[in-house]
Structure formats: C-alpha cells, structure tokens
A and B are shown apart, each in its own frame.
Chain A
Amino acid sequence: MGRLSGVSGMTDQRRSTHAWLTTPLESGTAAGFGVYLHVPFCHHRCGYCDFATEAVGGLAADEREALMQRYVRALEADLAAQAAVGELPTVTSVFIGGGTPTLLPPDELARLVRAVSRELDVADGVEITVECNPETADEELFGVLAEAGVDRLSMGAQSFDPAVLGVLDRLHRPERTAEAVRLARAAGIPRIGLDLIYGTPGEDDASWRASLAAVLTIGVDHVSAYALGVHANTPLGRAVAAGLVPPPDDDVQRERFDEARELLRGAGFVHYEVANFARSDALRSRHNVLYWRHGDYLGVGVGAHAHRDGRRWWTTRSTSRYLDAAEASVADRDARDDMGRMRTVTEEEQLDVDARALERLMLGLRLVEGLHPFDVPPLAVEALDDAVRLGLITMSCGRLQATESGWYLLDETVRRLAA
C-alpha cells in the first residue's frame, strides 16, 4: 500500500520517515510542556461523572481539612520526586483539575500552584488554570489564586436551567455562576471560561437557548460545550441501561450543538476545537491545546495521566491508595522508578508508531487548523483519497484538516484515515 510521508507528495527528502514524531513543527514536543495536577475532592459525586473523585461532603470539617492537607503534601512530594529526576522541558501551562480543586482551602491550593514553579523550570507567561465550581467561589479564594499567579479559571456552569442542574446533581443555583465570574474578575483573574453540558435528560431547546444566552450575558472569553456522555459505571449509565432514563439522542445533541455554535459565533467566538470556543485565538486554553497537539505533560495526583516520549502512564484512581503510596515512598527510595514515579500505583503503556499516529490524527484533527504538513503521520494514499472524496478531510496549503462534517464525524474520519 502506498504511503505518503507528509501530505500530498510534499515529501521533504531530508526529513526521515518519523520526522512527524522526531521533529514536528507544531505538534508533540513543539507544542510545549504541561503539568496537570489532580484534586479529587468533591462535595458529592455527580450522577454522570466518571472522573477520579472522592466525595468529602460527609466528613466533619476537621477530618476534611486533615485529609486535604495530607493530599496536598502528597502531591507536592510526588511532584518534587518526578521533577528531581531532571531534564524536564520548560513548563508552558499548568492545569489544576478535579474533582473540585476549589474545595481545598485557598492557601493549600496556592501551595500547589507555587510548588510547580518551585520544582520545575517555568516559562514566562505560563498559563495557570484552575478548575472551579460556582458554589465554591468567593472573594478570598480568587484573591489568593490571583496572588499565586493563576491567570485562568475554568468554571463548571453546566447549565442555567435549575431542572437540568438537578438532573446533573449540581448544587449551585444558576445565578451563582454570574456572581462567581464577577468575583473572579474583581479579584484580577484575567481569563475565564465556562463549561456547558447539553443533551441532558430533561433539557429542551428553550432551556438550552436560555443557558447560552446567560453565558453571553455574563461575558466570558472561553466556552466549552460538551455533549453529555453516558458512562457505564456511573449512576446515570446504570439508569440508562435499566431503561429508567432515555439515552441521549445523537441527532438532538447535534442540533443543540449547532444552536450553540451559531449563537457563539454570532457573538464573536471562534470555534477552535470540536467542543471549544474562544473569543480570540489568544484566548484559547493553551493547556488543552497542548493535549490536542499531541504534546507532552506530567500528571500528578490521583488518576492523573501523563504523556512523554511515546509513553502514557497514570496513577491509581483510589485516593487512599495514592496517599499511602506517596507517604510510603518518602522514606523508601526504591518505591519510585527512574522517572520518579511511584511503582505500586502507576500503570504505563508504551505506544508503537501506529498507536502514536492514530493519536496524532485523533487529537490534531480536533483543532480547526488541523495538522501542519510536517506533523502528519504517514497515511495510505487510498485512505486519504477516500476521506477527501467523502468530504471528511481537506488539505489547504498542505495542512490536513477535518471539514465541517468530518469534524462532527471525527471518529469515522480518523478510522478511515488510519485504516
């Protein structure tokens, strides 16, 4: 089967077959280097959520505080151990996600932010994002975060319809989101993004439109709109499997998304990734763009994933196992491997070239600009022709990009390209 290195015959003789991996122009190592810190704590676990979370709503205040403090110490130690190995690239973005990181006492959260710049080489103008739930927001918190260098908030609004928020098990009142955004701005955090979920049982066209209108009224610079995903091992997944809740309808979700896209673009947003909109390219989530550019990142904390040099690894999703391992490895040098990872709670997969090529496509084509010609993995000519003929893919100036329909059918597109 004929394979093109690069796209459309633009083969540069000086570039090796795996140049798309070894010397990419925008993707992989060229995309920067990120650090992801995971804070698993939530008041309770929402019915649709399949993240690594730890519900602490039932704990007494002092127990909760002790647990959180213990966790932050473990994270710091884990980060320090992985950084101590050395030779990590300069950090261009930090993302503290959860869970609900803002459940941590503000000072503890700030400690985490500071730990990154203490342990690692951090670029000027590094983006530091903290995920936040509206109900946890207050003036003091935002002040402390701004002081620590956090320049971006990603706020889980999810919906502005109380009924939908109820189905999603979210605790906040709709108006709370606007208030939280106002407080964050007042505290001096410059960039704020809101997350929305659509296709939730009980949502209708009107309530979705109302949520979008509310987002535009609040005035943020980034919006993520996700189709509700049903995961088997969640209460929602079980309810759908049992026939108690109807499964989300693909066509309805597409309609909701089209509605969002039209409204947001009308309001000046750029639709830059499958599910993400930014007021300008400069206001994209740099950390997330790193993921889509197939970049490398460290992952620290419960259930956190990392990616480097064609390897992916992740830690246990159990907070207690993570804590035990982190504490045990302080005294025991052998508890960590040559990359500073805790042996007992880390799993790793080595990716072969085919798997990396599949990832490059699957991630890179999520971005509106697609892949730079030099970053495209080798493709079968027939598969490429087929995808172009079917209107899933275009090539403009040698860049491999999904068309609008290819974007919505990205799984199909990638399956065809990587065949």
Chain B
Amino acid sequence: MTYPQERIRNFCIVAHVDHGKSTLADRMLQVTGLVDPRKMRDQYLDRMDIERERGITIKAQTVRMPYRPLGDVGDEFLLNLIDTPGHVDFSYEVSRAIAACEGAVLLIDAAQGLEAQTLANLYLALEANLEIIPVLNKIDLPAARPEEVAEEIGSVLGVEPTGVIRISAKDGTNVDAVLDAVVDRVPPPSGRADAPTRALVFDSVYDPYRGALVYVRVVDGRIRLNDRIRMLATGFEGEVDTLGVQSPEETEVLELGVGEVGVLSASIKSVENAKVGDTVTTAGRGAADVQQLPGYQEPLAMVFSGLFPLDSDDFPLLRDALDKLRLNDASFSFEPETSVALGFGFRCGFLGLLHLEIVMERIDREFNIPLVTTSPSVRYRVTLTDPPDAQGRPRILEVPNPQDMPDSGRIASVAEPTVTARILTPKEALGPIMQLCEQRRGEMLAMDYLTPERIELKYRLPLAATITDFFDQLKSLSRGYASMDYELSEYVEAPLVRVDLLLHGEPVDAFSAIVHRDDAYHFGRAMVEKLKELIPRQMFDIPVQAAIGAKVIARETIKAKRKDVLAKCYGGDVSRKRKLLEKQKEGKKRMKSVGSVEIPPEAFVSALRVSRDG
C-alpha cells in the first residue's frame, strides 16, 4: 500500500549510547501495534550480537509504522523510523541516515544529560534542517534531573525547556506523545513524483542469499519491482529482484513512492557496489540530467593496523574472513603485508578505532582466528627531500605503516592528521581533562559553559593521540561522565620520528612506531622494559634496544638462561616430564623468530597492547 506523500513522516532518533534509543524504538513498535508485547525481545531493532552486547548500533535499521494519533479520524499516517549508527567512527553513515529524514527525536537521558556525541549528531541534524523534537528519557530513574537537563537542551537548541517531552521508554510513559509530535511537527517529504527517480542509499547490508540489501529513501519518482536501476556513484546496474519494507519484519511491496523508505536487492555481489550515500536511479544511461544527491563521500580509512594470524597456518582462513567482512563493510579495506617477525598478514584500514575493534571482534567471534594486531597507526604525509617532480612540486609520500617511513635523510618534514575534538565534561574533571589534552599535544580551540555544571571543550588533537587510550583516560578522569566526539581536521606538521625496537640487533618491524620526538624516549623505555619481561630467556644474552635511526635511546638485556633442569627425575617423574617437553615442543613450533631470537606469539599480543596504551 502506497501512502500519499503528505501522510508520510521520516524521522530518526539522535541519542547517545545507553540513553535508551533502542528501548524507545521498541516501545514505538508496541504502541503502533506492530509487535506483540509478548514477542518482544529487548532492543528488537539491534540485530547484530556485537551491537547488542556493546549497546551500540553499527548498522542502521529502519522500521515502518502505520499510526493514527488518538482522536484523529482521518487516514493513517506512515511513520518511518530510520535508526542511526551510534558512534563517532560512523559519522558519515549517520549523516546519510539523517539526510533521509525530515525530523529527528533528540533523546537525552534525564540523569546523564547531553553527551558530546549527541551534540555532534544534533549539529548534523540541524545542518540538514531537520525538525528537532527534544525528549527527556528515563524520568522514572531516581537519579533523573529533568529540570536541569531540560535547561541544558533548551540552551543548546534555543527553545523553552517546557517544550521538552518527558518520557520513560522503559515503562512506556508518554511514548505516544513523541509519536504525536512526530506527526504534528515533522514536515512531510517534499520530492516530486514526476521527476526522474532518485533514491538515497543510507545503508547497505550483505546477505549471503540475496547479495547486498540496499536501504533507500525515495527522494523523487518511484522504484518498482523488476525496475532496472543504476547507482550513480559506483555505476552498478541491475534489476530490482526484491523490494520490501520493514515493519519490523520484511514485507514485500511492489512499489516505493516519493518519500518512502524501503529495502531492495538487485543481485549486487558486494556492498562495495551499493555504498552509503550513493543515489539509485531508474533512469537509463541516456538520461544524463539525473543529478546525484548531495553529500556522497568515498569511505576513507583513517586508522591502519597489521593483522597477522597467531598461527601462520591460519593465513588462508584470515584472508577468507577478511573477504567476507569486506562484503558487508565497504569502509573496511585490506591488502597483504609481510612482516619479518610475524610472517604473512594484512594491512587493514578502518574508519577509526572502534571500527577496528568491531572488525577484530567479528573475526574472533565469527571466524575464531587468533590474531596478532600491530599498534594502530594513522596515515602520515611525508615531504621528501627528493628533487621536485616535473611540475616543480615537492614529492610527498603517504605513509600508513610506520615501516614504510623513509630514512630521516630523505625526510624534509612530516605532517600528521588532526581532529577537532568536542569534549563535554562536568566541571570537576575540567582540570585533569585539559591536562590530558595538553599531554597529548592538544591545542585548545574553545571552551563554553553549557550550564554552570557542564563545559564543552574544543581541542585540536593529533588523530594518533586519540587512537591510543585517550578515550579510556577521558572516561577514567571524569569517572565516566565526560564524552567526546571528533571530526577530522587538516594535516599539521610535527616533529615525528620512527622508533624501532631491536632484538639482538635485528629490528622487529611489527614494533616500529611513529611518535612525537618528545615522547620517543618514554615510548622506547616502556617498550624495552616490557619486552624484557615478555620474552623468555634464551641460550644467549639478548640486547633489547629502542632506536631512532642508528641512535639507541633505550636498552635492556635479557640475560641468557643458565639452567632449565636441576630438579630430580626418577621413575615416577618420567611421564609428567615427557608430557611437559612434548608441550614445550609444540609451543616451539608456534614461536615467531626474529634472527635467532624466538618470541612466543603471546608476547607480541601483550607488547603491542602496551604500545597502544601509549
């Protein structure tokens, strides 16, 4: 059934993790009668296990809800709730989901107040001219401070605090008022039914049986089953095999009209052919006047890490796993990499640290391949001292892997990517957080009091500083109350050096890291001490050194072991002793070697954890 344009409302919920977005969405499903309360699972809309466990939504979900406000005698309204991914690494995906809506429910936990990430997404929604419906959730909690938080929202939005709807998604209080506000205040979609079809791809998910499932919002025209479609950015062409809406289970439809939201498949082999932000059209190639919808971006990997199987026999399994993940995640990239220490693996690119962690977790959970992961790195931009190119421009090298950093003699300067970070903190933690930002080479851009109790800080920080333990530190300094969001900013020159770790004079490529000159000694010292602790003593002394180029900045020695057997061994000890040796022999096969030094793979895992924690 196609709804008339003026009866359609497309909206999303902007909220911080844990503020109750999925609970509210679940409650809406019940209020609109789509889901029987008895069949309700918690957080119906969060489908992936990882999301459910981490309490975050990675992939957008969408649900179509017919709704008639109480006392309304006219036709039903069609509400499309477009769920948004909930993390900074996925802000582009968020922006596309927002672009598919006309309104946003701004959902704030009445105990926690505004969080940086909510604010960032709110700004995205405001930029997209969405109608904002502020809602306070969890008013039933004893710790709720509805007056204070309403004031905070009021000051950010420039509205009266009294206009903020107060609900409890948990017990259902006032959820219908939110739906009524969506009907009343969110404008209907404004596209033209008679224009050439344009639909915005706001998500795509890989399905092993149907290929990519493409979530679209029809902006102009319409899409029908069996239509021939074309993706304007990727150039993919195909025929619509299935067309459906989710309410919340998928239901087939024959047509999606202007303003409608649905999901299609067209035998698309990988999500790479149906990228978020792309435009679907039914117009053939001849129709050159079809304009791409604004805002499309190629996904850009910002954080890189080497992934190596702990057991080198697992390499083909890892390759298959990455191929499969890539089918479902166009923003994840990888290419083969060889490490002297770790053997064959892959250099992988991610949107950010959380994206990296999610991919790691999926490899572990879905494929169960134990991995060694090298410290995350960013893409440095190195200006070389080489003669300029034919156009007289200096030669520039992009370095996503510390190992590829050229010799210092060839480096004129190094620039690193920075971010603009927005940090919201209670005033008690202001001092320590500013100190943290300074330590991480941050530059303060602004400081605003949202309320007398809460402060918004803006810093420019090296991206590299935010992919270590920065976020954990922020949380611990503020006892969990500070939050952060960031957007990428420009490249900035910095005195960066590559620190190498050497075992017995051999560099261990996997441990090389690019750090600020001032941090090099500290990093080198921490690493040599950790390696001394982690690498078992061997038959000879092993010098462990940290070096910048040829200059050693820290050194320890792993002393040769002088005995491994001085205990008794009589008749009753033989079986146990033999089994121990057999186990050690097995362990030896798994050892990674650097020169003549044998390193248990677990030592890599632990040492790299240290280097990541800065």
Contact = CB atoms under 8 A, between A and B. Distances in A.
A363 B574 contact: yes
Nearest to B566: A227
Nearest to B568: A226
A328 interface: no
Contacts of B588: 415, 419
A250 B575 contact: no
Interface string B512-543: 00000000000000000000000001010000
A409 B561 contact: yes
A253 interface: yes
B564 interface: yes
A392 to B, nearest CB: 8
B230 to A, nearest CB: 60
Contacts of A412: 539, 561, 564
Contacts of A20: none
Contacts of A303: 572
B574 A253 contact: no
A291 B574 contact: yes
A304 B575 CA distance: 12
B574 A358 contact: no
B300 interface: no
A349 interface: yes
Contacts of A297: 571
A390 B540 CA distance: 10
B568 to A, nearest CB: 5
A33 interface: no
Given A358-B578, A358-B582, A415-B585, A307 B571 contact: yes
A312 B574 contact: yes
A161 to B, nearest CB: 19
B571 A305 contact: yes
Interface string B73-112: 0000000000000000000000000000000000000000
B569 A363 contact: yes
Given A274-B566, A275-B566, A291 B578 contact: no
A303 B539 CA distance: 36
Interface in A195-236: 224, 226-227, 229
B574 A410 contact: no
B578 A274 contact: no
B210 to A, nearest CB: 51
B565 interface: yes
Interface in B570-614: 570-572, 574-575, 577-578, 581-582, 584-585, 588
Contacts of A224: 568
A interface, over-half SS: mixed
B581 A418 contact: yes
A349 B574 CA distance: 12
A288 interface: yes
A226 B566 contact: yes
B572 A408 contact: no
Interface in B163-205: none
B575 A349 contact: yes
A355 B578 contact: yes
Interface string B541-561: 000000000000000000101
Contacts of B572: 36, 51, 299, 303-305, 314
A412 B537 CA distance: 11
Contact of B567 (A227, A251, A362): A227
A377 to B, nearest CB: 13
A257 interface: yes
B581 A307 contact: no
A366 interface: yes
Contacts of B570: 288, 291
Nearest to B577: A362
B54 interface: no
Interface residues of A, number: 43
A408 B567 CA distance: 10
Interface in A370-419: 390, 408-412, 414-415, 418-419
B574 A305 contact: yes
B38 interface: no
Contacts, number: 101
A305 B568 CA distance: 15
Contacts of A418: 581, 585
Contacts of A362: 569, 574, 577-578, 581
A274 B569 contact: yes
Contacts of B559: 251
Interface in A294-313: 297, 299, 303-307, 312
A36 B565 CA distance: 24
Contacts of A358: 578, 581-582
A70 interface: no
A111 interface: no
Contacts of A251: 559, 562
B567 A275 contact: yes
A359 interface: yes
B562 A250 contact: yes
Contacts of A51: 572
Contacts of A34: 571
Interface string A246-282: 0000110110010000000000000000110000000
Contacts of A366: 569
Contacts of A410: 564-565
A383 B570 CA distance: 26
A408 B562 contact: yes
Contacts of B574: 291, 305, 307, 312, 359, 362-363
B557 to A, nearest CB: 13
B232 to A, nearest CB: 61
A304 B574 CA distance: 12
Nearest to B538: A412
B479 interface: no
Contacts of A226: 566-568
Contacts of B575: 305, 312, 314, 349
Nearest to B572: A305
A222 B157 CA distance: 91
Contacts of A253: 563, 566
A288 B569 CA distance: 9
B541 to A, nearest CB: 13
A145 to B, nearest CB: 21
Contacts of A306: 571
Interface string A170-192: 00000000000000000000000
A292 B573 CA distance: 11
B537 to A, nearest CB: 8
Contacts of A411: 564-565, 581, 584
A312 B585 CA distance: 21
Max chain A CB contacts within 10 Å: which of B564, B571, B572? B571
A354 B569 CA distance: 20
Contacts of B581: 358, 362, 411, 414-415, 418
Contacts of A349: 575
> 7 nearest interchain CB pairs?
A227-B566, A305-B572, A410-B565, A254-B562, A411-B564, A408-B563, A254-B563
Interface of B: 537, 539, 559, 561-572, 574-575, 577-578, 581-582, 584-585, 588
22 contacts: A34-B571, A226-B567, A250-B562, A250-B564, A251-B562, A253-B566, A275-B568, A291-B574, A299-B571, A359-B578, A363-B574, A366-B569, A409-B539, A409-B562, A409-B564, A409-B565, A410-B564, A411-B581, A412-B561, A414-B581, A415-B581, A419-B588
Given A312-B574, A410-B564, A415-B588, 19 more contacts: A36-B571, A250-B537, A251-B559, A253-B566, A274-B565, A291-B569, A291-B574, A292-B569, A312-B575, A314-B575, A358-B582, A362-B569, A363-B574, A390-B539, A408-B563, A409-B563, A411-B581, A411-B584, A419-B588
